[in-house]
Amino acid sequence: MSIDIRAQANYIPHSPQKVRLLVDLVRGKRASEAQDILRFAPQAAATPLLKLINSAIANAEENFGLNQEDLVIHAIFADEAPTRKWRKFGARGRFKPWLRRASHITVILREQE
């Protein structure tokens, strides 16, 4: 029976659409390989995603006594968080809304069999 190690980051100030581009890169990879991919990814959303994977690895080592080399990213997904609506005033009294999107990211690690 395999144990699911779960870590979640809420209200990350990057749009889910941009985070999903990185999530698709690391899904199904070994945890150490995913760390290497995200460490050199140029996108700004790679930093909170890397911190989340590091947190999940630390949870596995501390709470379950698993080895980092045996961990695989079983599931990872980015969901929509509440959107903050800001305003920008345009010419001739017009109003232009800015939508500041955020995301909730969840990663689930499993031991490789």
Per-residue pLDDT of the chain (113 residues; tens, 9 = 90+): 578 999 999 999 999 999 999 999 999 999 999 999 999 999 999 999 999 999 999 999 999 999 999 999 999 999 999 999 988 888 888 888 999 999 999 999 999 87
According to the 3-state scheme, what is the secondary structure of 16-66? HHHHHHHHHHHCCCEHHHHHHHHHCCCCCCHHHHHHHHHHHHHHHHHHHCC
Q: Which domains are present in the chain?
A: 5-111 (3.90.470.10)
This model's pTM is above 0.85: yes
Residues counted in the chain: 113
3-class state of residue 67 by DSSP: coil
Task: Say what the pLDDT of residue 1 is.
Answer: 59
* Whole-number Å distance between alpha carbons of 34 and 90: 43
- The alpha carbons of the chain give a radius of gyration, in whole angstroms, of 17
